[in-house]
Amino acid sequence: MTFVPVSSVFDAPLESEVSLRGWIYRHRSSGAIVFAVLRDSSGIVQVTLKKGNVPDEQLEAARAVSMEASVEISGRVYEDKRAPGGREVRASSFHIVGQADVYPITEYQSEELLLDNRHLWIRSREQTAVMKIKASVLAGARDWLREQDFTEVTPPILTQNACEGGTTLFKLKYFDRDAYLSQSAQMYLEALIFSLERVYSITPSFRAEKSRTSRHLAEYWHLELEEAWVDNRGNMDIQEGLVTAMVERVLNERKEELLMLRQDIEPLRDVRPPFKRMRYAQAIERLREKGFDLKWGCDLGAAEERALTAEETVPVFVTNYPKECKAFYMKEDDEDPRTYACADLLAPAGYGEMIGGSERETDLAKLLARMEGQEICTEPYRWYLDLRRYGSVPHSGFGLGVERVTKFICGIEHIRDTVPFPRTVSRVYP
Ligand code: NSS
């Protein structure tokens, strides 16, 4: 038997014979008829089973079937205005492949119960839509980066370096030494530009974030990029192109999924160059006008980022952060040495930071002085400092949070709904 995707029922000739397999999504019986809605990876379709059309024992099996049992059916395609999508399959055969116990998820459930049953909840149509959109985000990125002649590389996850500072490191025993789960591939990508010039990686990154926020995961997917001979302006141009390509790909192939998530498509069409650019100093000015009590030197948090972009439909770069709120590896800005040549890219409509990037400091003396000032032990970074000793070149790069971008594109409130199995301070099961 050849099985076809459920969605193909809606293009099939009327009265043609189809065989489908999938899971029972909804189910009810009324008198001599059983209505089942069948779900597979392509969508849902109504199946009706009527006495006389199917053998009696199959009709009884269908009447007794549980939600989420897996089944195979054959039947003919008909129009029916009351069915989802306007068509149904009138079954001539019905077979159960895998019975289902009483499904623990019903219509109204607490967030905790859904998270405890995440392995089942990911079958939901909303979760499926998000995963398809995320796949398109990644495919759009990979294709665009390949067109731009970037090489995908595979940096390590086990490391001795604390790229983004010691407070959010996951420490583990590495044989008889200590090591960490990577926060960022950046330093390894910096090493790789000396042969490949334009590189990127897509890896998990780990942050032991103690705070419970709607935008932090302990494990997230990190798209990082590094390029030789490029300053921070050129770096922002690449970010603009990349984010545009990701959004475009989703708009091209995932409209149905966006609609299912009730996400408004129109504002996403505005996500194309040029993005807005403002300096940190201007951002602070603007926020003070909005009543924020901010001093030069404080980093911008979720509330500040939301206030800055609430009215925007294009992403906003905030550049030139004061040195005291960013990492030691950033290059001092030539025109304003109180700041770094860096930028965070904020999503429109208050969704917050999607990318952190900068030009990298190539002056070994400056790097060493900063590390000393911040009491960073140089020993684990010997190899990194070597990069400044052997043919150093101007270079820049950035890290993009794949879930942050997905959250924005899907219009999702909480970042945990952009990963199938979220890891947060309170959750590592299932
Ligand atoms: O800490 S970042 O701002 N920057 C870096 O890690 C650089 N070393 C990247 C680089 O230049 N190669 O993180 C980059 C992005 C940030 O903008 C977020 O979008 C995302 O990574 N990010 C997170 N997403 C989800 N959960 C958590 N906890 C998280 N932390 C950062």
Which of ligand 1's atoms lies nearest the C-alpha of 218? 28
Instruction: Choose between 31 and 190: higher pLDDT.
Output: 190
Residue bearing the CA closest to ligand 1, atom 30: 216
Would 213 be classed as within a structural domain? Answer: yes
Q: pLDDT tens digit string along 78-90?
A: 999 999 999 999 9
- Are the beta carbons of 415 and 217 closer than 8 angstroms? yes
Q: What is the mean pLDDT of the chain?
A: 97
Would 249 be classed as within a structural domain? Answer: yes
Same domain, yes or no: 72 and 140: no
Same domain, yes or no: 36 and 170: no
Q: Which of 63, 98, 133 is the last residue of a domain?
A: 98
Same domain, yes or no: 86 and 215: no
Same domain, yes or no: 129 and 13: no
Query: For tokens 């970074």, what's the residue?
Result: 381
d(CA 256, CA 44): 13
pLDDT of residue 165: 87
> 145 — phi, psi (to 5°)?
-65, -35
pLDDT of residue 254: 98
Same domain, yes or no: 149 and 69: no
Per DSSP, the three-state class of 142 is: helix
Residue bearing the CA closest to ligand 1, atom 14: 399
pLDDT of residue 108: 86
Query: Separation of 143 CA from ligand 1 center, angstroms?
Result: 22
Which of ligand 1's atoms lies nearest the C-alpha of 397? 11
Would 183 be classed as within a structural domain? Answer: yes
Same domain, yes or no: 148 and 241: yes
How much of the chain exceeds pLDDT 70, in percent? 100
Helix or strand run (H / E) with residue 74: strand 70-79
Query: Separation of 100 CA from ligand 1 center, angstroms?
Result: 41
What is the pLDDT confidence band of residue 242, given thresholds at 50, 70 and 90?
very high
pLDDT of residue 107: 84
Would 275 be classed as within a structural domain? Answer: yes
d(CA 118, CA 66): 19
Supply 324's token pair: 């005291």
Q: pLDDT tens digit string along 369-423?
A: 999 999 999 999 999 999 999 999 999 999 999 999 999 999 999 999 999 999 9
Would 110 be classed as within a structural domain? Answer: no
Q: Which of 39, 63, 98 is the last residue of a domain?
A: 98
Per-residue pLDDT at 20 exceeds 90: yes
Q: How many domains does the chain fold into?
A: 2
Per-residue pLDDT at 77 exceeds 90: yes
> 327 — phi, psi (to 5°)?
-75, 160
Q: Residues with beta carbon inside 6 Å of ligand 1? A: 163-164, 184, 186, 207, 209, 216-217, 220, 222, 224, 353-357, 397-401, 403-404
Contacts of 104 (CB under 8 A, 6+ apart): 113, 117, 120
58: domain CATH number is: 2.40.50.140
Same domain, yes or no: 156 and 87: no
Same domain, yes or no: 227 and 299: yes
User: Pick from 238, 224, 157: which is nearest to 189 by CA?
Assistant: 224
pLDDT of residue 31: 86
Per DSSP, the three-state class of 47 is: strand
Supply 303's token pair: 């509330």
Same domain, yes or no: 141 and 51: no
d(CA 312, CA 348): 5
Would 424 be classed as within a structural domain? Answer: no
User: Which among 202, 211, 220 is the best mutation to test ligand 1's pocket, defined by most ligand atoms within 8 Å of the CB?
Assistant: 220
Which of ligand 1's atoms lies nearest the C-alpha of 404? 19
Total number of residues shown for the chain: 430
Beta bridge partners of 94: 73
User: Which among 181, 184, 300 is the best mutation to test ligand 1's pocket, defined by most ligand atoms within 8 Å of the CB?
Assistant: 184
Beta bridge partners of 427: 424
Domain that holds residue 306: 118-418
- Are the beta carbons of 227 and 397 closer than 8 angstroms? yes
Q: What is the DSSP letter of 111?
A: H
> 37 — phi, psi (to 5°)?
-105, 125
Residue bearing the CA closest to ligand 1, atom 27: 216
Contacts of 304 (CB under 8 A, 6+ apart): 283, 287, 292, 294
Residue bearing the CA closest to ligand 1, atom 5: 399
Would 303 be classed as within a structural domain? Answer: yes
Q: What is the mean pLDDT of residues 115-144?
A: 98
Same domain, yes or no: 168 and 56: no
- Are the beta carbons of 168 and 180 closer than 8 angstroms? no
Residue bearing the CA closest to ligand 1, atom 3: 356
Q: What is the DSSP letter of 10?
A: G
Per-residue pLDDT at 318 exceeds 90: yes
Same domain, yes or no: 337 and 256: yes
Q: State the pTM of this model.
A: 0.97
Per-residue pLDDT at 74 exceeds 90: yes
Per DSSP, the three-state class of 316 is: strand
User: Which among 134, 159, 205 is the best mutation to test ligand 1's pocket, defined by most ligand atoms within 8 Å of the CB?
Assistant: 205
Lowest-confidence region among 64-68, 209-213, 230-234, 260-264: 209-213
Q: pLDDT tens digit string along 24-70?
A: 999 999 889 999 999 999 999 999 999 999 999 999 999 999 999 99
d(CA 99, CA 65): 7
Query: For tokens 């194309």, what's the residue?
Result: 272
Per DSSP, the three-state class of 205 is: strand
Query: Separation of 56 CA from ligand 1 center, angstroms?
Result: 59
Q: What is the mean pLDDT of residues 99-118?
A: 94
- Are the beta carbons of 55 and 73 closer than 8 angstroms? no
User: Which long-range CB contacts under 8 A does 38-43 form with residues at least 24 apart?
Assistant: 38/6, 38/71, 38/73, 38/89, 39/6, 39/123, 39/125, 40/5, 40/6, 41/5, 41/128, 42/5, 42/6, 42/7, 42/8, 43/5, 43/6, 43/7, 43/85
Q: Which of 37, 70, 98 is the last residue of a domain?
A: 98
Task: Starting at the earlier edge strand, list the strands of the sheet with 158-159.
Answer: 158-159, 177-181, 171-174
How much of the chain exceeds pLDDT 90, in percent? 96
216: domain CATH number is: 3.30.930.10
Per-residue pLDDT at 166 exceeds 90: no
Query: Separation of 380 CA from ligand 1 center, angstroms?
Result: 21
Would 428 be classed as within a structural domain? Answer: no
Q: What is the DSSP letter of 166?
A: G
Which of ligand 1's atoms lies nearest the C-alpha of 224? 12
Same domain, yes or no: 178 and 285: yes
User: Pick from 25, 199, 212, 36: which is nearest to 103 by CA?
Assistant: 25
Asked if omega into 348 is within 30° of 0 (cis), the reply is: no
